[in-house]
Structure 1
Amino acid sequence: MNIDKICEQLTIDEKIRLLGGVGDWHTYDCNGKIPSIMMTDGPHGIRKLEQEKVGDIETSKPATCFPTASAIACSWNPAIVKKMGEAIAKEAKKEQISIVLGCGINIKRSPLCGRNFEYFSEDPYLTGKLATEYIEGVQSLGIGTSLKHYAVNSQETRRMTSNSQIDERTLREIYLSAFEEVVKKAKPTSVMASYNRINGEFGARNKYLLTDVLRKEWKYQGGVVSDWGAANDIVSCMKNGLTLEMPDPKGFHTDVLKEAYKDGRITGQELDNWTKNVLQNFVSLHKNIEENYEVDMEEQNQVARKLENESAVLLKNNSVLPIGKEKKVIIIGELARQMRFQGGGSSHIQPTKMTNAIEAIREKGYQVTYIQGYQNEKEELGEKQLQDTIEKLKQEYRKEDCVILYFIGLTESYEGEGYDRKNLKIPQNQEELLAEIAETVGKNHIAAISFGGAPMDFSFEKNVGAILHMYLGGQAVGESVADLISGEVNPSGKLAETIPFSEKDTPAWRYFAPPNDDVEYREGIFVGYRYYETFHVPVKYPFGYGLSYTSFSYSELNVPEVYSGGKIQIRFKIKNIGKVSGAEIVQLYICPIESDVIRSHIELKGFQKIYLHPGEEKEVILELDERSFSVYDVEKKAFSMLSGKYQICIGASVHDLQLKANMEVVGNSYFRNERELFPDYFREQPHGMEISAEQFYQLLGGEPKHDKEKKRGEYTVYDSYQDVVNVSMFGKFVRGVVHIGLKIILRGKSERDPAFKMVKMGVEEGNLEGLIATSGGIATPKLIDMLVYNANKKYLQAFKRLLKK
């Protein structure tokens, strides 16, 4: 494709129209002069809709549903994550799709974020390594990707208007680090700009993120696409680094851009540059479309099965698992029949097949009895249902030859895109029934098979002898359960995030998802295990934790005594000292021994998954470089390797450090002594560092503008629909009509349904300008202007706008 020649052939109107999508999923064909390409949601499978319909996230064409990112991250295996990317790309080619919208790499700031199932980890190093392979896997077949959501998109509450207030060092070390890794190494086709504001400016028009960091510093040459409806003030978006607005702007932003071109705010050179970017990074992908591309869908299912087999985490096992074929298996819980295998929202996939755990375990040759026990979509456990379950269990259970598999976890209404959780609780009926079962038969013959896209309350552990945690394991999760409980596959997954005792133990608890748009990242760099380990906060299951049916030993750590730069190798040995084959995920952490800089006491800087037969021993070599010992120096505007003494730790989890050795690093000094600035950090405290508002604003470089006290007269099209409509009679009337309309559009769906909740919250919390594009034409520019005028008591302007064509 000759980009310059095509650009010369396009009219001004065609160039401008090319900057916005057509419908929900296509690019513009410039009146037939260029091909149109299609993109679809990912990231754990293809969601190609049969038709474009407002609020429809479920009527997509069948596709392989692979494990979600929260699951595959627990594999700690970049190679199989790459295979997943390749498998997804095959189905994209089959459906003539040019870009898969994924993968999502936002850091898990809080376990309560409703979309955490789409993200890998709380740790940027692990996230970056896995996401790099995913992107390379998809793009190896000529299919484009969209790395998302750039950036600091840590909550679903008010996600389209929230303002992530974050200091520069935290931004660079935690929230941008994985993006930097993937952009530089995998060169994703596109990066998706997030809905939220970052330090006051929306992601899709954030010059610092899109131009200064992404383009100039990281030398990114790809495209930048807006999240759907995230382009506010389209002229500013384009000038500050956006390439393509999605979805269809319905003529609104096209007209705005034309007007800006006419009055000279947009130059011809700028328009040509933007046009060439779309042609190069989006339209050119059409050349990779293949007619009649064939995919073996059963093979795809087996890929999904292998992925989940490597990702499931054995959290507890008092010799309950694996289960011998001579044992009778009693399966209890509706989650065994109607399995939870994916999250709710835009990534919702129609699977090509689904074998539930009951069928899969029977196919292994086990004698299986199934008892429903509880209902997925109910919170309460009726007395009759309880008694019937216990009575049937008594009839079937024989202590010497039975194992109970109790299926437990978060049901569909508990987590999904568009809304956050309030706590870590699981459905009460599941816990009550399990407690009764344990009281009846004892816990030593009960194994819990658990599901969920994020950490949850595992206090039920006291009532079981084993826990096999599947996360959200894709369409082959039932077959994977059978593989793992039978011992045909040895569990090898390890947690890619910490599971705390309570949401109140989490570092962002006081600042996560507030009832206004101000979101203060006061916990700073202390996200996940960095917080728990530095401040000695007890957790239920630590980062990197996971059991196996075998055991491993570590030995012979070899570490250089002094390091001053370049790449160095850390060597040690790992041995399978058990009786069955298995895989161990070895983890390398660096621990600053003493520092005058605020730092985590421990950071992951290397890992590898090692497969070993009984008695087999291998040498492991992991590399470190300057970045391994660096912090972001806000004065130098660069990462800086700090001098000092470090401990190199090798272990099976952040709590299980088997080998340790000291090393002297010769590097730089930080620009300030933070013992003087933040003395509380350097004192032993039971629950972390308390940072004052004044200290936080000092880190930010000044007190930010707050959104808490907005008054009538101050509302704009960038405020949320719910904030604007609530303050005027006209707004309340419109809200009532919209609510009725939503019920009609989503008729047949419960208000607990993730699809209903996502669409409702998308409207309620969506910023007004964004709704023009995402509402299917229902929210017109005239209606939006009238809502804002009425909210600001500008009734004459509202009346004039009503009369204006």
Structure 2
Amino acid sequence: MDGSMAPRSPASQYASRDADLGKISVEIEEAEKMIDTKALLDNMTLAEQVSLLSGDTFWSLPPIDRLGIGRLRLTDGPNGARGAGSFVGGVTAAAFPVGIAIGASWNPDLAKEIGSALGDEVLSKGAHVSLAPTVNIQRSVTNGRNFECFSEDPILTAELAVGYIEGLQSRKVGATIKHFVGNESEVERTTISSDIDERTLREVYLIPFEAAVKRAKVWAVMSSYNKLNGIYTAESHWLLNEVLRGDWDFDGVVMSDWFGSRSTAPTVNAGLDLEMPGPTRDRGPKLLAAVKGGEVSVETIRACVRNILTLMERTGAINDHREFKEYAINRPEHRALIRRAGAESAVLLQNDGILPLAQQGTVAIIGPNAKIAQVMGGGSAQLNPHYVVSPWQGLVDALGEENLFHAKGCSNYRFQPLIENPTTFEFFQGRELAGEPVKVVEEPSSLGVWLPPVAEGTVDPHRFSARMRTTFRASEAGVYRVGLTSAGLGRVYVDGKLVVDAWASWTRGTTFFEEGCEEVVGDITLEAGRTYEVVAEYARHDHINLYIAAIRVGIGRFSAEAEIAEAAAVAAKADHAVIFVGRTGDWDTEGSDLRGIALPGLQNQLVEAVIAANPNTIVVLQTGGPVEMPWLSGARAVLQCWYPGQEAGNAIADVLLGKAEPSGRLAQTFPVRWGDNPTHTEDDAVYPGKDGHVRYDEGVFVGYRHYDRHGTKPLFPFGHGLGYSSFAMSDLTVGLPDAAGAVTVTLGLTNISERLGSTVVQIYVGDVETSVPRPVKELKAFSKIALEPGEKRKMSFVLDARTFAFFDTTERRWRIEAGEFAVMAGFSATDIRLIVTVTQKGAVLAL
């Protein structure tokens, strides 16, 4: 899967579908009429109750027509609402900034705005529940899904999650916080055991979920694929009943991740209300038999159904009998929000004064991400955006093409580039591609991803084959590389010649949610200007666990030193050079972790060559997490822009040209090198895992806490970010603890520059003397604020008693040790400006 997109103009997409928003609103209001769920439950047969405890399709639960119960529909995901379509194609949707970008905004109010907008997006896809947000902690810098998560810090993650959920549920759309819990890596994620002690769980990994339940009143929780301390989370009574429903009083639905339920009675008895997707594997007749055999009680079934009905009532699904229809509504207000959010999440890592960029003179626009918009990561968060704006297009619109030069310089793809031509897929019964095709579909590129049902009503999703046909035009003569990845058997022909064969030798790798093979390649010599027929064949394999079927074919040329030399020459003739490097959604993706944090391919060499050619070089990074920067000292400015959604190019241009403030701050520490990360040890059991277990040996020392503990200097610290304005702090005070142990922190903040600007005030707390290992400091509060030139503002923060506590595993309670605590105010984890101490009495706090 890939979050990179060829540019499409927003203007041509404004009316991509006709939709009467007023009609949708009226229909939703009708669906929200109050209904007596207890009476419904009392009138349901046992078979009807059991039918609601699993999906009947990939994205929905079955209706019960006899009782007038509607169909509950769900959709991915965190940065948009894809709807019921596949991961490619389908009805277009708005693409919002990814999770790590929202994290870098440090703005819960913005998260709430985005959540509310996403609620409208979900409704436009005919759904009631969004499978978002993702709040797993960025434990390792190589987690393939870091882009989808907010932060390495539990408090920052929790505050953003609360805002996001409140916004989403304000539209009567259910939020589903995920993945509960310990899913901080994609390596063997469906089978591995995350071994985490309870103190670390309570102080780090459970914090965002607890806030979502207690404060945002989230309506649904998704269990993770992995085991927790040897027990699958979907079967953990301790996690789902004792912690979630007992300690936190959760009253919503617990659902499995897709195909993440592995049993019948154990999951139901543990508190897993809903098995997804459908058709069911472990419930239905199996669950009825378990009730009959005494393995599951009728009251347990009723409790699960009660939770499902509550969710349906909250979202209006219980009385929603509308004809299912998906709309592609390209809302102007969402376009504006995405552009603003993309700019607000940009982090100015380094700047010697060259930014904002003067709008006079010429600019060389260089790099593999310059003309290809990198808008999202890969996997279940992927969708088909209404349009995308590349950095090149954003700068052309702002500066005019006559002032810009361009050179690609090199490539950064993980797989050979897709063939972006109309592509036909023919489906056949059985695995032999025999007879006439039973169905033919058209796709925009050489990527096919199919979820059950495949070619609905025509082929068995477990025994079928497909043939892909498209064309490829060689732009120049030479040797080209053909690449194939497939979740199933595959081979590729070019003009009838077999070039890639992964049929007899197919083995599972890390692609397509760990169900596809690693890319298999073959080389072929092509003539310039000639168009070739490309045919790929696919057959379903018996050993695919998640029922996904997929094939991807790409053709590309090697990046050569000549391309870098050409880019350097282009840079040399311009007044400034802006180089766009980073990764793509094939690298930052669900299903596989990174194998390091160096820029892929020849990008480091490209940056060094451009810097050597033009001393006025600005580097713009687009990645889902940290990268090493061996060229840092030569760059005049470095701007990290993540994957900011469909308005990527416009948002980046706004920041580069000073139309918007780069007010983002790092939500994850950037290490100097991969080896500095706390999970990078000589022991594979710590990461990526060994013998089916991954040990969280660093305990509570995650992210910046690890760097503090070991005195390791990061490349850029947690919370870091420059702006186009400067601020000063003063007058830090901490009041005496009240009867509950809470204290009020105040300080003065002044904008000491000559332009309007924003900053983030960060409050950290550290226990001066402690009987257990505790971090030097922990983020406990923060606030993003904009001030006019010269303006001074008094800021106030309330730190409750638990701010000062650690989790006592002996008494299984939160404990404050009597003594002094340092309260620190600063602009990052290493830029602490003011410190005062406060004395707390010892206390034991309730869960």
- Paired residue type of 2:342: E
Equivalent in the alignment of 1:472: 643
User: Are positions 1:69 and 2:99 aligned together?
Assistant: yes
1:601 maps to which of 776, 784, 804? 776
The partner residue of 2:239 within 188, 191, 209 is 209
Residue by residue over 1:256-301, the C-alpha shift from the partner in whole angstroms, topping out at 9 and shown as x without a partner, is 2121112122222222222222111236521686899996612211
Name the counterpart of 1:328: 362
Query: Superposition pairs for residues 126-525 of structure 1, below 5 Å?
Result: 126-250=156-280, 252-282=282-312, 285=315, 286=317, 297-366=331-400, 367-377=403-413, 381-394=559-572, 396-397=573-574, 402-442=575-615, 445-510=616-681, 511-525=686-700
Structure 2 counterpart of 1:21: 55
Q: Indicate the residue corresponding to 1:46 in structure 2.
A: 81
Q: Distance in 1 between matches of 2:314 and 2:757?
A: 45
1:252 to 1:657, Cα distance in 2 relative to 1, 3 A: closer
1:319: how far off? Answer: 1.4
TM norm structure 2 = 0.75
CA deviation string 1:763-793 (max 9, x = no partner)? xxxxxxxxxxxxxxxxxxxxxxxxxxxxxxx
**Which piece of structure 1 moves more, 319-328 or 555-564?**
555-564
Distance in 1, Cα, partners of 2:191 & 2:660: 46
Query: Would you say the 8 A contact 1:89–1:143 is kept in 2?
Result: yes
Q: Tell me the SS of whatever aligns to 2:399.
A: coil
The answer to whether the aligner puts 1:626 opposite 2:801 as a matched pair is: yes
Q: Counterpart of 1:16 in 2: which secondary structure?
A: helix
| Offset from partner CA, 1:435-491 (integer Å, 9 cap, x none) | 11222223xx00001010111112231231101100111111110111001111111
Contact 1:373 1:389 in 2 (8 A): yes
Question: 1:252 deviation in Å?
Answer: 4.7
Map 1:652-801 onto structure 2 (within 5 A).
Answer: 652-668=827-843
Q: 1:460, 1:89 → 2: CA distance?
A: 42
The alpha carbon displacement at 1:231 in A equals: 0.8
Deviations, residues 52-98 of structure 1 (Å, cap 9, x unaligned): xxxx4222321111101101111111101000000000111122210
Q: Which amino acid aligns with 1:608?
A: S
Query: SS of 2:261's equivalent?
Result: coil
Seen in structure 2, the aligned counterparts of structure 1 residues 123 and 288 have a Cα distance that, compared at 3 Å, is farther
Answer whether contact 1:147 1:192 (CA < 8 A) is retained.
yes
Distance in 2, Cα, partners of 1:502 & 1:521 = 20
Are the equivalent residues in 2 in contact too, given 1:557–1:570 (CA < 8 A)? Answer: yes
Aligned to 1:616: 791
1:136 & 1:302 partners in 2: Cα distance? 21
Which residue does 1:686 correspond to in 2?
none
DSSP-derived class of the 2:631 partner: helix
What is residue 813 of structure 2 aligned with on the other side? 638
Q: 1:95 to 1:669 in 2, by over 3 A?
A: closer
- Kept in 1, the 8 Å contact 2:72–2:312? The answer is yes
Query: Would you say the 8 A contact 1:90–1:295 is kept in 2?
Result: no
**Aligned letter for 2:278?**
D
**Aligned partner of 1:640: which letter?**
R
Q: Which moved more, 1:650-659 or 1:269-278?
A: 269-278
Aligned residues of 1:86 and 1:138 also touching (Cα < 8 A): yes
Using the alignment, how far apart are the partners of 1:217 and 1:299 within structure 2? 40
Alignment check: 8 A CA contact 1:81 1:134 kept: yes
Aligned to 1:570: 745
- What SS class does the counterpart of residue 133 from structure 2 fall into? coil
Distance 1:252 1:517 in 2: 24
Q: Residue 86 of structure 1 contacts residue 140 of structure 1 at CA under 8 Å; is this kept in 2?
A: yes
One-letter amino acid of the structure 2 residue matched with residue 388 of structure 1: E
**Identity %, equivalent residues:** 33
Taking the aligned partners of 2:565 and 2:136, their CA distance within structure 1 comes to 45
Paired with 1:162 and 1:90, the residues of 2 have a C-alpha distance of: 36
Task: Pick closer, same or farther for the CA change 1:669–1:239 going to 2, 3 Å.
Answer: closer
Contact map agreement 1:563 1:663 (CA 8 A) in 2: no
Matched residue of 1:459: which SS? coil
Contact 2:407 2:566 in 1 (8 A): no
Question: In 2 relative to 1, CA 227–282 (structure 1 residues): closer, same or farther, beyond 3 Å?
Answer: farther
8 Å CA contact 2:761–2:825 kept in 1: the answer is: yes
* CA apart distance, 1:388: 2.7
What is the deviation of 1:384? 2.5
Task: Give how far 1:32 is off.
Answer: 5.3
Worse-superposed segment, 490-499 or 505-514: 505-514
RMSD over equivalenced CA pairs, Å: 1.9
Residues in 2 aligned to 1:495 and 1:110: alpha-carbon distance in whole angstroms: 15
Tell me how far apart the structure 2 counterparts of residues 229 and 256 of structure 1 sit (CA, whole Å): 16
Which structure has more strand as a fraction of its residues?
2
Equivalent position of 1:80 in the other structure: 110
C-alpha contact 1:168 1:634 (8 A) present in aligned 2: yes
Following superposition, the deviation at residue 313 of structure 1 comes to: 0.2
Deviates more, 1:224-233 or 1:453-462: 453-462
Q: Cα 1:168–1:517, aligned 2, differ >3 Å: closer, same or farther? A: same
**C-alpha separation between the residues in 1 aligned to 2:843 and 2:309?**
44
Are residues 175 and 575 of structure 1, via their aligned partners in 2, closer, same or farther at CA, if it must alter by over 3 Å? same
CA distance in 1, matches of 2:264, 2:282: 10
Post-superposition Cα deviations, 1:182-227, rounded to whole Å, max 9, x if no partner, equal: 1100111100011100011101111001000000110110110100
Q: Superposed, which structure 2 residues align to 1:88-99 within 5 Å?
A: 88-99=118-129
Q: 1:507 to 1:251 in 2, by over 3 A?
A: closer
1:104-123 alignment runs, 5 A limit: 104-123=134-153
TM-score by length of 1: 0.79
Q: Distance in 2 between matches of 1:565 and 1:2?
A: 41
Q: How many residues align?
A: 658
**3-state SS of the aligned residue for 2:39?**
helix
CA distance in 1 between partners of 2:737 and 2:406 (Å): 61
Alpha-carbon distance in structure 2 between the residues aligned to 1:343 and 1:559: 42
Q: Is the 8 A contact 1:555 1:572 kept in 2?
A: yes
Q: 1:608 to 1:251 in 2, by over 3 A?
A: closer
Aligned-partner Cα distance in 2 for 1:667–1:96: 53
- Mean alpha-carbon deviation: is it higher for 426-435 or for 225-234? 426-435
Q: Distance in 1 between matches of 2:132 and 2:63?
A: 24
Mapped to 2, the partners of 1:359 and 1:641 lie a distance apart of 55
The one-letter code matched in structure 1 to 2:357 is I
Deviations 1:730-755 (A, max 9, x none): xxxxxxxxxxxxxxxxxxxxxxxxxx
Q: Distance in 1 between matches of 2:132 and 2:90?
A: 17
Q: 1:288 to 1:580 in 2, by over 3 A?
A: farther
Please, which runs of 5 or more residues in structure 2 have no aligned partner? 1-34, 416-557
Work out the CA distance in 2 between the residues paired with 1:403 and 1:283.
58
For 1:169 and 1:560, the matched residues in 2 are separated by 29
8 Å CA contact 2:93–2:330 kept in 1: the answer is no
In structure 1, what residue type is equivalent to 2:613? Answer: T
Aligned to 1:591: 766
Distance (whole Å) between structure 2 residues aligned to residue 661 and residue 306 of structure 1: 36
